[in-house]
Structure 1
Amino acid sequence: MQYIHCLNNISNYGTDLLPGSYELTDEFGKATGVLVRSAAMHDMEFPESLLAIARAGAGVNNIPLDRCAEEGIVVFNTPGANANAVKEIVICALLLGSRGIVEGIEWCRDNADDENIAKSVEKAKKAFAGREILGKKLGVIGLGAIGAQVANTAIDLGMDVYGYDPYVSVGAAWRMASSVHHVTNLDDIFRECDYITIHVPAVEGTIGMVDERACSLMKDGAVFLNFSRDTLVNNEAMAAALESGKVHAYITDFATPDVMKMNGAIVLPHLGASTAEAEDNCAMMAVRELVDYIENGTIVNSVNYPACDMGVCPEGAGRVAVFHENVPNTVSQITNVFGASGVNIENLTNKSKGNHAYTLLDLSEPAPEEVVAKLQAIEGVRRVRVVC
């Protein structure tokens, strides 16, 4: 029996996909796999039984990735599962930033007791007049699952779209409309675009990338949208740009004390992926990743180990997964253990991601216990798992 522990409420659409040999448990200490959304895991100690953590969402800053890698625990996320939900709210934000919608709603509420509000509004609405997005330039920083969808929808709305992503995947490129202009210099996005939306992860090199210099390059009256991560934007620089009028509006999905003090900021309470459909999609994708890994050793959409897929576990034979440091001679030591024990290797895949490597081996027979022990004794080997 495989035990799955949910650290947050996970959609039944996902947990209902668990096979009959799986059982949900409230006991974290005996979990084989964990499903999580936002629960903080950095201070948690992981049981030896834990094989994998699946995050029902894209961001994984609530999970200690390096420590998990060192313990041979694979961490998955669900890129693209909530892309449509975020895309829709970004399009909503474009309209909020171009028309005085929020200000107009607030005016109506503030004047709700005015018996002549129908006449008063005709004079007041001039203060909330905005502009149309048709024909305006939109810069999309990051062309992954979300950024590509935003770009395509903006094209359909008649915007002139410019995209920047030095690491754009072939799949994302195929999904994007051919009319999206590919920009190779990020500064051109800041200089040329009336609206800018950012869709990149918060990692070294992107944290604080929207700084004083970036804001100074923006067109006067630009609108900046952040539905990715709050740390991508330097709050002091953005506040100054809003005060000076350089930036007309900053629309963000991240309510922090600094952002709440900004004049000209429209702040949403992290609603980007908060739809029933997105939660269902993320849960289903997370469960499928978790089960495929537990059953077959397959790694897809891991953030701390490389992708690896050798198909379904062979019947009547054996499959062993070895987690190890990415250093020379480790694979040869692994194969030598099997050769010295007279166990034939039918197939082998070795993949690496930074300092972390994953070797998956199909054998002519189930791996004997003494072989597993010898593998575990190799220097640099973190974990050995008998998959089947």
Structure 2
Amino acid sequence: MKCLIIDVVSPAIATELGKYMEVDTKILPTQEELAGMIGDYEVLIMRVDPAINKEILDAAKKLKVIGVCSVGLNHIDMAVAKEKGIQVFNAPGLNDNAVAELTISKMLDISRHTIDACNDVKVGKNWDKYKFMGRELRGKTLGILGFGRVGQRVAKLAHAFQMYVVAYAPYLPEYVFDQEATKGVSVDELLKVSDFVSIHMPLTPETKDLFNAKSIATMKDGAVVLNMARGGIVNEQDMYEALKSGKLGGFATDVMANELAAGGLTEGAGFDSPLFECENFIVTPHLGAQTTDAARAIGVHIINKVKDAMGLK
């Protein structure tokens, strides 16, 4: 048996599965590259890139299991996988706290200008506290779009800062909002009342470009948008215009629409965006789940799922 790992995941996965099968690693192959090599493997371990389309699955003649070391599965053609009898396992609930803590970190960073201030001292060799007047989270309204495990964890942390929390999740029963001391509202109401809006929704045809010129216009002047979910939910050109005009007070994101367009982790990859011109924009390279704690938990979960599926003891 052979296993192919195509993203940076817990090293425990290769170590443990290596006791039962040959394990190869090819970090972030293109779809064409993956289609060309997948035919030799029974197990595929990945995160979210590249998207697993019908062409790849058609080429995966031996594939029995796909272990996804993240939550979302919209990057896999699940109908074709099911048709071919390929079991797909993800890791829900194991990186919730990591993503939630990053969300709060970004709220603090953009509110207190910590990144700009750090660069001003280290790079500019300046010591000028008067350049960086910030604002506190206490007493502000946080709107959470998507109130699943991550959104609920963000709400808990926000309450510790004495924020008022509203959330949008149309299919959740009312008692869930009550348990989290959170008011359930519509998207329109959430955008209207929130000082901070944090996105924790999947990318779907309904959520694509949810933040655009029209919806941004309904928001509070100076509001801050945070996206720890998926690039594409925010229209980046419209966000650029909102930041440059001063309509919004900031945009903090861990994801971008074309984040792997230039090769991602491959050697010599580059990446650019007009948003980089905006002082009130901060970005990280999709590291929401990048903690040793989350990686360890996800690794154990995926190992057990693969071993069960493959009948390994």
**TM-score surpassing 0.5?**
yes
Equivalent position to 1:281, from 283, 297, 303? 297
**Separation of aligned partners in 2, 1:25 and 1:270:** 26
Equivalent position of 1:317 in the other structure: none
Larger radius of gyration: 1
**Separation of aligned partners in 1, 2:231 and 2:104:** 19
3-state secondary structure, aligned to 2:165: strand
Equivalent position to 2:183, from 169, 181, 184? 181
In the superposition, relative to structure 1, how do residues 38 and 251 fare at CA in structure 2: closer, same or farther (>3 Å)?
A: same
For 1:218-229, list aligned pairs within 5 A. Answer: 218-229=219-230
Equivalent position of 1:55 in the other structure: 68
In the superposition, relative to structure 1, how do residues 239 and 66 fare at CA in structure 2: closer, same or farther (>3 Å)?
A: same
Equivalent position of 2:163 in the other structure: 159
For 1:10-159, list aligned pairs within 5 A. Answer: 10-15=9-14, 22-26=20-24, 28-40=38-50, 41-42=52-53, 44=56, 45-60=58-73, 62-112=75-125, 121=127, 124-159=128-163
RMSD over aligned CA atoms reads 2.7
Equivalent position of 1:309 in the other structure: none
**Separation of aligned partners in 2, 1:93 and 1:56:** 24
Amino acid at match of 1:187: D
Amino acid at match of 2:181: S
1:139–1:163 Cα contact (<8 Å) kept: yes
3-state secondary structure, aligned to 1:72: coil
1:239–1:263 Cα contact (<8 Å) kept: no
2:14–2:23 Cα contact (<8 Å) kept: no
Mapped pair 1:168 → 2:172: yes
How far apart are 1:153 and its partner, in Å? 0.9
For 1:227-266, list aligned pairs within 5 A. Answer: 227-254=228-255, 257-266=273-282
1:144–1:169 Cα contact (<8 Å) kept: no
Instruction: Between the two structures, name the one with larger relative contact order (CA 8 Å, sep ≥ 6).
Output: 2
**TM-score of the aligned structures, taking structure 1 as reference length:** 0.66
Amino acid at match of 2:130: K
1:155–1:180 Cα contact (<8 Å) kept: no
Equivalent position of 2:267 in the other structure: none
Equivalent position of 1:331 in the other structure: none
How far apart are 1:48 and its partner, in Å? 2.8
Stretches of structure 1 lacking an aligned partner (at least 5 in a row)? 297-388
For 1:297-336, list aligned pairs within 5 A. Answer: none
Amino acid at match of 2:23: T
**Alpha-carbon deviations, 1:209-237, whole Å to 9, x = none?**
11112111111110110111110001122
How far apart are 1:18 and its partner, in Å? 5.0
1:5–1:31 Cα contact (<8 Å) kept: yes
Report the identity percentage: 30
How far apart are 1:49 and its partner, in Å? 2.3
In the superposition, relative to structure 1, how do residues 25 and 269 fare at CA in structure 2: closer, same or farther (>3 Å)?
A: closer
In the superposition, relative to structure 1, how do residues 272 and 13 fare at CA in structure 2: closer, same or farther (>3 Å)?
A: same
**Separation of aligned partners in 2, 1:261 and 1:3:** 46
In the superposition, relative to structure 1, how do residues 19 and 271 fare at CA in structure 2: closer, same or farther (>3 Å)?
A: closer
**Separation of aligned partners in 2, 1:156 and 1:99:** 18
**Separation of aligned partners in 1, 2:42 and 2:119:** 50
**Separation of aligned partners in 1, 2:212 and 2:86:** 36
How far apart are 1:3 and its partner, in Å? 4.2
How far apart are 1:29 and its partner, in Å? 3.6
In the superposition, relative to structure 1, how do residues 104 and 202 fare at CA in structure 2: closer, same or farther (>3 Å)?
A: same
Mapped pair 1:194 → 2:187: no
How far apart are 1:168 and its partner, in Å? 3.2
In the superposition, relative to structure 1, how do residues 259 and 169 fare at CA in structure 2: closer, same or farther (>3 Å)?
A: farther
**Separation of aligned partners in 2, 1:239 and 1:72:** 44
Stretches of structure 2 lacking an aligned partner (at least 5 in a row)? 25-36, 260-272
**Separation of aligned partners in 2, 1:260 and 1:254:** 13
2:3–2:44 Cα contact (<8 Å) kept: yes
**Alpha-carbon deviations, 1:183-232, whole Å to 9, x = none?**
2x111110101111000111121111111121111111101101111100
Structure whose residues are more often strand by fraction: 1
**Separation of aligned partners in 2, 1:233 and 1:12:** 33
